[in-house]
Amino acid sequence: MNQLMQLTQERRDIALGKGLSLAIGDLIATRGYAELETNLQQIMGNESIRSVTVTDMSGNVLALLERKAGSEKASPNFSVSKIAPPDSWVVSYLVEKTSDANILWYKVDLGIPLGWIRMESSNQTNDELLEKLRQNILLSVFVLFAGLFISSMLLVYQAKRKAQLAEIQLIRHNETLQDVAYLDTLTKIPNRLALERLLEAAIARSNENGHMLAVCFLDLDGFKAVNDQLGHQAGDELLIAAAGRTKRAIRETDSVIRLGGDEFVLLLGDLKDPQALSASIKRILDVLAAPFMINEQRVSISASIGVSLYPNDTGSINDLVDHADTAMYEAKSKGKNTWSVYQT
């Protein structure tokens, strides 16, 4: 029962960390630290939680609430300005265990890593609590996860709307947040500046799991004709729609980056065999070849994709992208709406 309770507590903490990260992501982006502290006070209503800390990706403390020994009320602590975050920003969360506490690190990520949540909770139990858990565990788990699911869905909806409004406001006021610099302002996907760190992270995952990483250079066939005939606004709408379709065609662990114009780079990781790569590329080509409705007009384009496979291709980060670009031109020479792999 102790093990079950500890497992339940760990899952609860992770779920709380996920819900909290969705709720405060836009507050970090807009520097709404007063409202951020209010949200942390709600989490601290759980008496098993000793402290909650929110930092940026470098470990600079943005807000810290803690419950001192013998006190039921949580209060801010302004004496700590920086703590050491996890070494790897690739993971979503980490759980550390001590003799009397669980420490959860949960990454705040709205498409771009914004910071970390550090939540310390007690793992001490007593007989009365164990007995209560024995009697009510099924009902408690159901109520907890049902509530968290509903809350998470509402928080996701609110976070998406607030993030969009916050980004527009940040751009209008020329704010210099680093996170905004890594987003393409038109398509709202990572831009050229984000490519190097995303590719470094993808290579690290490939080295860790031993699977292939496909670096894909994608160019839209027929985009210039649409831009010339229907105008730049229609061209922008087509780019937004094409980026959205591509993003939905890949997995959450993969990335799509806009280099500029109608050129994109895709990072497709965890590929165990060539068949997996072929299936992924075909899915992307199919969704882009389906007609688009732009300004109430039916528009058809396609895509040519060049692929550089890591670790078969042992070049540098720049080499991988350049090799994929070379393979893309080979695909175009085959008649477009197809793909080609760079031969090392």
* The 3-state secondary structure of 146-159, one letter per residue: HHHHHHHHHHHHHH
Q: Is 262 a catalytic residue?
A: yes
Euclidean distance between CA atoms 189 and 302, whole angstroms: 20
Q: What separation in angstroms does the CA of 238 have from each of 187, 241, 306?
A: 10, 5, 21
Q: What separation in angstroms does the CA of 137 have from each of 8, 17, 126, 130, 134?
A: 10, 21, 15, 10, 6
Q: By the 8 A CB rule, do 336 and 321 touch?
A: no
Catalytic option among 221, 262, 313, 325: 262
* The 3-state secondary structure of 184-197, one letter per residue: CCCCCCEEHHHHHH
Euclidean distance between CA atoms 307 and 309, whole angstroms: 6
User: Which token pair is 321?
Assistant: 């992208």
First-to-final CA distance of the chain: 56
Active site residues: 262
